[in-house]
Structure 1
């Protein structure tokens, strides 16, 4: 089984008020995106694909030489970013999607996510966590079997759904074939006009494919 990471590193990071892309800012002397790449490799990932966009040359020169590159010239959502890497997604791959600005993600967390995904035979698994105040985050809604039913964004959640304290981390594990097929069915019929990676979850469920959620906060 080939584990492949797709790392989202195309954004501007405007809230940092910096002339440099967010993912190349250093934490403990190492670029954030390279922390993510290092932990991916330690967890068993064989291949790394970085999605670049804003100041792509600046980011690219900081990456390991064996990193595969896909370009996202327009930032049209997380789903659109992963679409840019479609040529690298093979049917027999296990794909983990990570964000380039999450330097604190742990090797143990990714290994447990991979194990959970494979053991349960899921087509997609979302890494989640539980927080006391979930305001602003996408809520995890599970079905009667504790599998993932849907991810509901704050603005779309009803009062009952807003009570859920399990939230989406933005890290996902996918069966390669299922991800490729779902990306082909993504649309941008929403208020933001963007392609959301979370919509692949609904697409897979509508096909009758099992999708799950691994709560990383249960790791001791």
Structure 2
């Protein structure tokens, strides 16, 4: 049997944040979510999260993770003290305990699988993950022989000068034989520089330990401050871009673009510079995104173009063109072949196939049939100051420039709205609708008479 425990009790003082460190976002997911996802493929029998600082907030953020057990560490007195809190919930458990850190989010599932396999083959009480760093400052040093048998782990601040020259460091990731670990956990002592109970001290107490050196040391990067958070973001973004380029996506300037790991691309997608995808975006084959576009929880069909625009929680079918400078807000749904042009905003509205909204328009809480042509400056006035109301425009209708449709209102099919009209009543199919003041012209107009000579125009 396998149990996984994630240490997530720390405050993260150096983050300078009201948000618990493990809830800091990284490429669209929190640090602790990334750690939990990493071990999903191992199919553990038990999953435990050791919480402390803002425990209720951390638990609430993970409410969707069914079967996760929360264990309170109060006060927080080191990693050894954290794992001591498992003695009661894991009483009688037989098997391995994998200990992960909630602020080490770049581990790959295959690395954890290799750690678990190494531990099972080695038959030792504990197997720990290590990394070799050019600058090991701040990390505990691991001392081992050529066969990987560990003799000691010494925390950085407890190292002497010679020990600090050792580049092999403890990544803080362990696989224990739980029964043997449970027997020595009560023996931990706090006679060290920090006055805390170190989980690393169990290695000496257990007497037999192996280490597995990770090939890519970036996997073990921990996060203690904003700089390290940014560094991890860079690593993760590079991984994501490399993955999708291998799957047939073109990035014109990869370093200028960011993705979430919930983004999925089809083939032959082109991503122009300064384009960013957040949340669960689904991008179809042959799309062209950017430059300068933002997509968040967006679904795009095949052959969609998004130029210098924002698409948030919207659905766009095949062959549509968005932008430049358009915004699709949550609830926008475009059928195939629609065109949404410059300075157009669409919100909570459905556009039928072939609709065109090319210029300077706001379409909110509306439903447009097929092949509706929305003239420049058309507004659906959907808000009466208290409630939102819907506008329905039938297929084949067209609105003239600077039209205002005051909802609730329904236009039939093949309706023509004259330019400059403000409509407040329904219009039947096939009608022409005009709703504007009569034009007044006074010939030979000399302007207001003030009794003074008009000032000469400025040159």
In the alignment, does 2:47 pair up with 1:51?
no
SS at match of 1:88: coil
- Corresponding position of 1:173: 175
Q: Which of 205, 215, 219 lines up with 1:217 in the alignment?
A: 215
- Corresponding position of 2:96: 94
- Is the Cα–Cα contact under 8 Å of residues 130 and 170 in structure 2 kept in the other structure? yes
Q: CA deviation at 1:184?
A: 1.7
TM norm structure 1: 0.91
- Is the Cα–Cα contact under 8 Å of residues 43 and 108 in structure 1 kept in the other structure? no
Runs of 4+ in structure 1 over 3 Å off: 143-146
- Corresponding position of 1:157: 159
| Larger-Rg structure | 2
2:203 and 2:93 mapped to 1: Cα distance?
17
In the alignment, does 2:33 pair up with 1:34?
yes
- Corresponding position of 2:4: 5
SS at match of 1:57: helix
Q: CA deviation at 1:15?
A: 1.0
Query: Given the superposition, is the C-alpha separation of residues 162 and 203 from structure 1 closer, same or farther in structure 2, using an over 3 Å criterion?
Result: same
Deviation per CA, 1:31-80, whole angstroms, max 9, x where unpaired? 21111111111133232100011111100011213111110110100000
- Corresponding position of 2:142: 140
Q: CA deviation at 1:134?
A: 1.3
1:137 and 1:172 mapped to 2: Cα distance?
15
SS at match of 1:202: helix
Q: What are the within-5 Å matches in structure 2 for residues 52-201 of structure 1?
A: 52-63=51-62, 64-89=65-90, 90-143=92-145, 145-201=147-203
1:215 and 1:44 mapped to 2: Cα distance?
23
TM norm structure 2: 0.45
In the alignment, structure 1 segments of 5+ residues that lack a partner are none
Query: Given the superposition, is the C-alpha separation of residues 88 and 79 from structure 1 closer, same or farther in structure 2, using an over 3 Å criterion?
Result: same
- Corresponding position of 2:356: none
1:192 and 1:103 mapped to 2: Cα distance?
25
Query: Comparing 22-31 with 117-126, which one deviates more in the overlay?
Result: 22-31
- Corresponding position of 1:15: 14
2:172 and 2:36 mapped to 1: Cα distance?
16
Q: Which has the higher contact order (CA 8 A, sep 6+)?
A: 1
Query: Given the superposition, is the C-alpha separation of residues 218 and 105 from structure 1 closer, same or farther in structure 2, using an over 3 Å criterion?
Result: closer
2:146 and 2:22 mapped to 1: Cα distance?
39
Q: CA deviation at 1:183?
A: 0.5
2:69 and 2:206 mapped to 1: Cα distance?
27
2:193 and 2:167 mapped to 1: Cα distance?
25
- Is the Cα–Cα contact under 8 Å of residues 125 and 173 in structure 1 kept in the other structure? yes
SS at match of 2:112: helix
Q: CA deviation at 1:174?
A: 0.2
